[in-house]
Structures are given as C-alpha cells and as structure tokens.
C-alpha cells in the first residue's frame, strides 16, 4: 500500500523543495520510479546474519520472506538485505561465506515481494554481482566504493543504482563533521563516475554511527541538510544505533521511539530515504513528518 499523495502533483524535474534547492531527477530502482522530493521513502532492513547489532538477524529464508512481506504491507518502499555484520568490531566473512548466507534469503525475499526494489548491503564486488544476477536491484556499500577496487566497475557494468556511504572508521577527524562527510562522499562519487556510473544513479548516505561518537552523530543530524548541496538523494540509517542508546539508555530492540525522533528530524532536514528496522512504527512517523514538512497528505 502506498500511503502518500503529493498535493498538488509536482513536476518530476526541477521541483523546489521546502528546505531549499531543487529535487534531484527521478531514479528507476527495479520496477519502481522514485520521484525525489515528493515524499520520504522507507527502506526496511533484513539482516541475514546471526551477529546483527540490533538483534534481528534472520538467517532462514522463510523467516526473512515473511519479514519482508510484512514490511511491504506496512509501507516499506525498498528492502535492504545484508549478510555480513557492519557493527563496530564485527567479524569479517569471506565472499563465499557471505554469499552462502545471502543467496537463499535473497531468493526467498525476491519471490515474496516481486515488485518491491531490493538493495544488497555488501562491500564485496563478487557478492554484489551474484546478488544482482539473483534479483537485487541496487547495491548499498558502506565503504563508499572504497573497500573493494572492483566494486565501482561492477556497479557500472550492471547498470544499477548504488548507495555510497561515508565511513569514518579508521579516519582522522578533521574538526568539522559535515566537511569530513562531504569530502568522503565526493571521493565515492568520483570513483563511481570514473568507472562509468552515471551521477543520476547515485544515492548518498552520511554514515550515521560509522566511526563517530555521540556528539558527532547528533551534530551530523543537526546539519544534515547541508549535504543537499551535493545534488543527490540522501539516505540516513539511524535505526536502533548506539548513539540513540547513549541518550535513552536502552538496548537496541528497545530504541524504537529514540529512532522515531531521529527519523522525524532527518525528514525536517530533507532526507529522501530512511533505513529502519521497525517499519510499521516508522511509516507512521514518516507520514506525519511529511505532512508537516512537505505538505503531503493521504
């Protein structure tokens, strides 16, 4: 079910946004055309791994398919599937082991939600290619195309959209959170374009929780709108993360309402996609936030 109806219907290109600037041109992801600026889109997370930080790993295909179906029925626009944890101090897995975890889950989810775009959350080009061949519609790389030298070329050759994230882990803080993120994202964009990925196939993620402390994470959210000058759709993934736990003092599964606050404030800053675990609750947050910020009513 689609919850939102922009009023009035906006032009696809050149739409002026309520927080300033023009919306990026629409993007085709799988069978869905995303018209940026019309509303906020919801990405539901499925972790095909036993060591997810959020405690919601579903390594069995039937469970993942049921979760994906429930997410779409609750209003998710995209399903994001990953099979390697990216939590701090995670234990890396090799490409074959990652694909063993991912393949059956991806196939089951693809059959369960045939018309819904699926992104594959991986840093490995070989896994990304296998996933695309098995039905994934886009790649979500938390290294911003900087972890595997073959990833940018793989995305370009497959002609699929890519989420480029800035990852601060292992990097020295330059003193300004947004400038560090902007510079990191520009490196990712340059790698993509040099490999032949069109700019209009790129989505940007500032990397909330990836190498930042609580102060920097919340400063990022406060200034998120400054990244719109890069001219690409913005995705944010705050869901259940430790920066929220730092404030509310709750374990990951109990950070729903803290997550809700970050989702609403990110929408106020102009984010285009929110990546969340608790889809049903966050769809309500998105609907009300879009009604206020964008004037989008059902």
Q: Which two tokens stand for residue 94?
A: 């090799």
Q: Which two tokens stand for residue 273?
A: 């996609």
Q: What is the DSSP letter of 234?
A: B
Given the residues 124, 275, 287, 294, the one annotated as active site: 275
Q: Is 111 one of the annotated active-site residues of the chain?
A: no
Given the residues 241, 255, 287, 294, the one annotated as active site: 241
CA distance 230 to 246: 30
> Coil, helix or strand for 204?
strand
Helix (H) or strand (E) holding 141: strand 138-141
Long-range contacts of the stretch 251-257 (C-beta < 8 A, 24+): 251/55, 252/53, 252/54, 252/55, 253/54, 253/55, 253/56, 256/281
Q: Is 124 one of the annotated active-site residues of the chain?
A: no
CA distance 22 to 37: 8
Distance separating the N- and C-terminal Cα atoms of the chain: 12
Give the active site residues: 241, 275
């Amino acid at each position: 079910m689609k919850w939102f109806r922009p009023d009035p219907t906006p032009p696809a290109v050149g739409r002026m946004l309520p927080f300033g600037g023009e919306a990026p041109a629409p993007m085709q992801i799988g069978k869905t055309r995303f018209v940026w600026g019309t509303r906020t889109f919801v990405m539901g997370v499925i972790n095909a791994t036993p060591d997810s930080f959020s405690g919601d790993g579903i390594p069995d295909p039937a469970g993942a398919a049921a979760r994906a179906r429930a997410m779409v029925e609750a209003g998710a626009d995209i399903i994001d599937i990953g099979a390697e944890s990216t939590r701090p101090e995670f234990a890396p897995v090799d490409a074959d082991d990652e694909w063993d975890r991912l393949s059956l889950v991806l196939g089951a989810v693809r059959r369960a939600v045939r018309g819904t775009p699926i992104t594959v959350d991986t840093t490995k080009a070989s896994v990304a290619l296998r996933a695309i061949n098995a039905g994934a519609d886009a790649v979500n790389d938390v290294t911003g195309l900087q972890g595997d030298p073959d990833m940018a070329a793989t995305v370009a050759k497959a002609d699929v959209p890519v989420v480029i994230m800035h990852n601060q882990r292992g990097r020295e803080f330059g003193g300004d959170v947004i400038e560090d993120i902007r510079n990191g994202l520009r490196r990712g964009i340059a790698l993509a374009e040099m490999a032949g990925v069109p700019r209009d196939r790129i989505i940007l993620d500032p990397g909330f929780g990836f190498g930042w402390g609580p102060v920097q994470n919340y400063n990022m959210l406060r200034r998120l709108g400054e990244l719109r000058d890069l001219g690409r759709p913005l995705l944010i993934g705050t869901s259940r993360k430790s920066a929220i736990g730092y404030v509310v003092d709750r374990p990951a599964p109990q950070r729903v309402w803290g997550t809700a606050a970050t989702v609403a404030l990110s929408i106020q800053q102009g984010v285009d996609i929110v990546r969340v675990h608790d889809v049903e609750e966050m769809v309500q947050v998105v609907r009300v936030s879009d009604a206020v910020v964008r004037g989008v009513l059902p």
